[in-house]
Chain A
Amino acid sequence: MRYQIVLSKMTGWTLRCLIPVVCFTVSLMSQEGDQAKAPVSPSVVHATAILGFEGISNNTNGELSVQGDNLVFKPAGGPITRITIGSIQGVFLTQEDKEVGGTPLALGRAATPFGGGRAIGLFAHKKYDFLTLEYLDSNGGFHGAVCQLNKGQGQALGSELEAKSVHVSGLKDDAQRLETKNEAK
């Protein structure tokens, strides 16, 4: 009887220890999966419209691309938004850390005992590029839009817009630093 109790206690402890490890592994796998799925072509990039795109609700996933004289955001479902490149006043590129896994992982972290959730939080994050657009509508009204892209894609899209005479600022220094590092190697 005592052996059974000890055994069940040990199983409980093992499970408690394993849950954070499993959550951590899953989060790492999801990060790797995302990186592997990043589109190769710079012209069409997977993006999340955080806010400011007319007719598109906040945090909508879709594809952002430069098509002719337009910057096009094509959501997974629903109407396409086109912004005339000539109306864009400026583009800003930044990079920021964000948590991955959304609400399910947040709940998992909260439920993990012995502070395991904090340990998961330490690793369950990823760097994203943020593309901020400032443009004018046909009536002269100022608009702002923020897009979240996978790391590295912001600069690619920024360069494409820069080639079309759009003023792009930010992130370039990082790219230049990388170039100089590569040259040094």
Chain B
Amino acid sequence: MKLSRGTSWKAVTAAIAIGLSALTVPVFAGGNRPGVAQWSVVVNQVDAGGLGVAPEFQVAIYENLLDELVKTKQFSTVLRSGDRAANDASALLVLKTTVESYTPGSETKRAVTTVAGATKLKVRSQLCTRDGQVVLERVVDGNVRFFGGNLRATHNLARNVAKAIKQSPLPEPAPSVHGE
């Protein structure tokens, strides 16, 4: 059975159109998923947990968390700690980060030995509602073992925290939360 050139051309076009639609539909559907992008999140300052974490590390974790959470597009607004706009947010989650372990590394040691001098960070991340109910809790780590500066550990950590939040289903925001 032979198909004419015109028929085969139409079939190819139709196949491409179906393929494209199959690709685009989930992308748009993802943006309108219930429970996603309805919450706002306020990122609290990092609690060093008395482990003597260098101040630049605490600040870098905080700033990187803000950047990475914006990138996930999981939340309608990502707010800084103390931001007055949080008072008006209808459905608000609070991200609390506590450092559980911290091993300061050395860039020089890494360059010379390759195996030693790794910077290691482990934090406990909690997403809580305004009334303190924990919605999500994860222990996440971020390390720099071979290449890059010590502060890259904070970037890796923030990326892992954001990834953990993105992969976890969040509950639907309760309507009564507004105005509390």
Contacts and interface: CB of A to CB of B under 8 A. Distances in A.
Interface stretch (A74-82, A129-137, A155-163): A129-137
A141 interface: yes
A173 to B, nearest CB: 15
B111 A118 contact: yes
A146 B59 contact: yes
B56 A92 contact: yes
A52 interface: yes
Contacts, number: 83
A63 interface: no
Contacts of A50: 56, 60, 151
A36 interface: no
A109 B85 CA distance: 50
B180 interface: no
A133 to B, nearest CB: 8
Interface string A40-66: 000000000011100000000000000
Interface stretch (A7-15, A95-103, A176-184): A95-103
A44 B123 CA distance: 37
Given A97-B106, A99-B107, A132 B82 contact: no
A125 B80 contact: no
Given A139-B85, A141-B81, A142-B80, A118 B56 contact: no
Residue among B79, B108, B113 having the largest count of chain A Cβ atoms under 10 Å: B108
14 contacts: A51-B63, A51-B151, A52-B59, A52-B60, A92-B56, A94-B54, A98-B107, A99-B111, A121-B112, A122-B112, A137-B83, A140-B83, A141-B81, A144-B63
Contacts of B169: none
B81 A142 contact: yes
Contacts of A51: 59-60, 63-64, 151
Interface of B: 45, 54-56, 58-60, 62-64, 79-85, 106-108, 111-114, 147, 149-151
A122 B113 CA distance: 9
A52 B81 CA distance: 14
B80 A141 contact: yes
A122 B108 contact: yes
A132 B55 contact: yes
Contacts of B54: 94
Contacts of B147: 106
Contacts of B59: 51-52, 132-134, 144-146
